[in-house]
Structure 1
Amino acid sequence: MNLPAEELQAIRVAARWYARLHSGIATDADRADWRAWLAADPLHGQAWQRMAAVAEQMASVPGALAAPTLSDTHQRSRRQVLRSALLLTSAGGLGWLGWRSQATQNLFCDHRTAVGERREFQLADGSTVLLNTDTSINVRFDGQQRRLELLRGEILVTTAFDPLRRPFKVVTGPTEVLALGTRFIVRSQAGGGEVAVLEKAVEVSLLATGSRMRVEAGQRLDFNERSLGALRGNDVSVGAWQKGSIIAIDRPLAALLDELSRYRPGVLRWDPAIGDLKVSGVFPVDNTDLALAALESGFSLRVTRYSRFWVQVSGGDRR
């Protein structure tokens, strides 16, 4: 997402204000000047909110990862804080340097969820969108079309009738999903994704090649950057996340753990030797520790918790 030059400049100024106000030596005059800057232009308020969002994001990073950036500012000089804040907005910094990258797009998107969070909202036309864990989207409605840009994660869309008869599209990477009066799921992942239709139909197109395919209710379709896959039937696992579950039917353990890892912060690792173990069951995504305990007791696995953010699953008896 390319920011206009005036927005980027406002963000850079917001970073300077952030550094000044969190330097520990800001004066009443500084705070008055900051309030005047905020009131001078709506862009300034938006830039400040984005700066605060980055600060919140960095504060949520465990331990030392956050320390060199925006935490503990009271112990550092104004020049050090300013250097860190500007680093985040520069072309060479660790955080804001990536404002063109997908990670930073997620911070500046219109709607997003944290890891483990699900959230539903209504669009201006009455359509609803349910965001799964760690998902971010942009909404672009105009006189010609209704468009969602799925930057990462997974959404369930229920479209509403539009008196203007504008097409409703979900775009993720090079793939476009045109809703044909429908309820459907789109998932974006590295190199591709999946569409599953629950009601009516969609048309999936690869923008680069022009290839397209219609997907009817009860069907799903994988895609990547180069091709569309074969149509498959939905099963009971499709969309189970909206009810807070993962449903596994003879699913390889590695695939199940990979799915569970989307709902918990930190690292979930497993021994490759147990990756092909077939697992069936219903596992809660709102309490992944309970899901891991069920796997441990039901399949003779060992779950080792090194910390809240580092869990290892291995095989063997648990004596």
Structure 2
Amino acid sequence: MQLNTHKDSAVIEQVADWLVLLQSDDVTELDIKRLNLWLAQNKAHRDAWQQANHFLTNIEHLPCSVNSQTMLTLNQQGRRRVVKLLSALFAIPTTGYLTVQSGLHHSVIADHQTAIGESKTVTLNDGSVIELNTQTKITTTFNQVQRSLNLLAGEIFITTGKKHGELLPPFRVITDHGVIEALGTAFNVKATEQGIEVEVSEHAVLVTTEHAELMVKAGESLKFSRHMLQPKVNKLQLSAMWRKGLFVAASLPLFQLIEELGRYHHRLVNIDNSIRNIQVSGTFDIHDFTGTLALLCESLAIDVVYRTKWWLAIVPKAPHS
């Protein structure tokens, strides 16, 4: 991230203000809500905030020329120095130090990630457990003033932790479309091309976007983007079934089922247009793509034609001669 316009300079000034405020003893619950709204306003805010906090968390990795005390002892008197330091750090070319260290963009290696078909469980310092589904990338920022996770791509299930006797800052999931604040909870978050899908298993989360704020409680789910909120009650809790190696389809078009299962496999699949929207219901093993295709051929009027090991076509079943 290279900031050099007047607008970007204003964002740096705002980041410095937030860092100073959160480091003070006067921070209030209203301040936290204001920060969430600011983060939800646009991606530039979220990127700058995450990158600045990454410096705080990984201060020992910064170049020796950086005075670590400037970042570790933020206060009003030091605000001007903080702005200068942030400006210098953000201005480093994308081929330089920050791009390698920060892990905040899709083009660089995340703090934690999974490959196609892989899952992983990460336990954070506060006891929070993050389960990563296939093709997922996240970065984490944990310090005295912030607990946040940036979902760059993919899907996660979060069980927030709380060390006994410690007053911890709010746990936030930051996405390109808004901010999800955990209210002592367990929940699933999935990034799609259309936006973000959240499903809450325990307690509640607070979702803040540029235009709205909504609490999502246990048994409820929400699809949202920068300009859309689509809440619904979902007592079945189906979205997180990937943790058990399953995907549940309820009257889902065939092409959407194949897209979902395709997230876990290196396969190129072509579907004949005449059968793309056949409705499918059932429970499928996400790791057994070949077995799933065989089951579909038994229950639907379709056939599978293998062009190569990794390339196949789903076509209408040929009539019996």
Q: CA 1:318/1:183 → structure 2, altered by over 3 Å: closer, same or farther?
A: farther
Pairs within 5 Å for 1:50-69: none
Secondary structure in structure 2 of the residue aligned to 1:235 = coil
Q: Do the aligned residues in 2 keep the contact of 1:191 with 1:225 (CA within 8 Å)?
A: no
Q: Distance in 1 between matches of 2:131 and 2:122?
A: 7
Provide the secondary structure at the position in 2 that maps to 1:260. helix
Query: Hey, what's the Cα distance between the residues in 2 that align with 1:318 and 1:193?
Result: 42
CA distance in 1, matches of 2:301, 2:237: 26
Q: 1:219 to 1:288 in 2, by over 3 A?
A: same
Q: 2:286 is aligned with what amino acid?
A: V
Q: Which residue of 1 aligns with 2:318?
A: 317
| Cα offset, 1:165, TM superposition | 2.1
The answer to whether the 8 Å contact 1:196/1:234 transfers is no
Do structure 1's residue 181 and structure 2's residue 159 form an aligned pair? no
Provide the rounded CA distance (Å) in 1 between the counterparts of 2:231 and 2:295: 34
- Report what 1:32 is aligned to: none
For residue 286 of structure 1, what is the aligned residue in structure 2?
Answer: 287
The residue number in structure 2 matching 1:197 is 200
Rounded Cα–Cα distance in structure 1 between residues aligned with 2:266 and 2:155: 17
1:260 maps to a residue whose letter is: L
1:167 is displaced (CA, Å) by 0.3
Q: What amino acid does structure 2 have at the position aligned with 1:258?
A: E
In structure 2, the partner of 1:141 is 142
Give 1:144 deviation, angstroms: 1.0
Per-residue CA distance 1:12-33 (angstroms, 9 max, x = gap): xxxxxxxxxxxxxxxxxxxxxx
Q: Aligned runs of 1:94-173 on 2, under 5 Å?
A: 103-105=106-108, 108-162=109-163, 163-173=166-176
Q: Which amino acid aligns with 1:176?
A: V
- Paired residue secondary structure (2:183): strand
Partner Cα distance (1:104, 1:234) in 2: 37
Deviation of the 1:145 alpha carbon: 1.6
Gaps of 5+ in 2: 4-59, 64-93
Aligned residue pairs total 228
Measured in 2, the distance between the counterparts of 1:102 and 1:268 equals 29
Cα distance in 2 for residues equivalent to 1:169 and 1:289: 38
Describe the shift of the 1:281–1:191 C-alpha distance in structure 2 as closer, same or farther (beyond 3 A).
Answer: closer
- So what's the TM-score if we normalise by structure 1? 0.65
Q: What's the C-alpha RMSD, in Å, of the aligned pairs?
A: 2.7
Higher relative contact order structure (alpha carbons within 8 Å, sequence separation ≥ 6): 2
Distance 2:281 2:115 in 1: 27
The one-letter code of the counterpart of 2:316 is: G
> 1:193 and 1:115 mapped to 2: Cα distance?
20
Other structure's SS at 1:229 match: strand
For structure 1, the 5+ residue unaligned runs are 4-40, 45-88
Partner deviation per Cα, 1:140-169 (whole Å, 9 max, x = no partner): 111112100000010000001141321000
Match of 1:212 in 2: 213
2:106 touches 2:152 (CA, 8 Å); kept in 1? no
1:2/1:154 CA distance change after superposition, 3 Å: farther
Give the Cα–Cα distance (whole angstroms) in 2 for the partners of residues 150 and 174 of structure 1. 11
SS at match of 1:231: strand
Q: Is the partner of 1:293 in helix, strand or coil?
A: helix
Q: What does residue 224 of structure 1 align with?
A: 225
Matched-pair identity in %: 34
CA contact 2:103–2:111 (8 Å) conserved in 1: no
| Cα distance in structure 2, aligned partners of 1:100 and 1:169 | 18
The 8 Å contact of residues 2 and 100 in structure 1, kept in 2 or not, is answered as no
CA contact (8 A) 2:248 2:284 kept: yes
Distance apart, 1:297 and its partner CA: 2.2
* Distance in 2, Cα, partners of 1:2 & 1:155: 29
Partner SS, residue 104 of structure 1:
coil
- What pairs with 1:67-86 in structure 2 (closer than 5 Å)? none
CA change 1:100–1:109 in 2 (3 A) is: closer
Asked if 1 retains the 8 angstrom alpha-carbon contact of 2:151 and 2:173, the reply is: yes
The answer (yes or no) to whether the contact 2:177–2:224 under 8 Å persists in 1 is no
Alignment deviations for residues 201-248 of structure 1 (CA, whole Å, 9 cap, x no partner): 000111x33x11000000000001212223332435221111001111
> C-alpha deviations, 1:22-51, integer Å up to 9, x for none?
xxxxxxxxxxxxxxxxxxx9789xxxxxxx
Cα distance in 2 for partners of 1:101, 1:268 equals 32
Q: Runs of 4 or more off by more than 3 Å in structure 1? A: 41-44, 99-103
Write out per-residue CA displacement over residues 244-294 of structure 1, whole angstroms, 9 at most, x where no aligned residue. 011112222122111111111142221222122111221111121211121
Cα drift, residue 295 of structure 1: 1.1
Give the conservation status (yes or no) of the 8 Å contact 1:197–1:219. yes
CA distance in 1 between counterparts of 2:229 and 2:311 reads 36
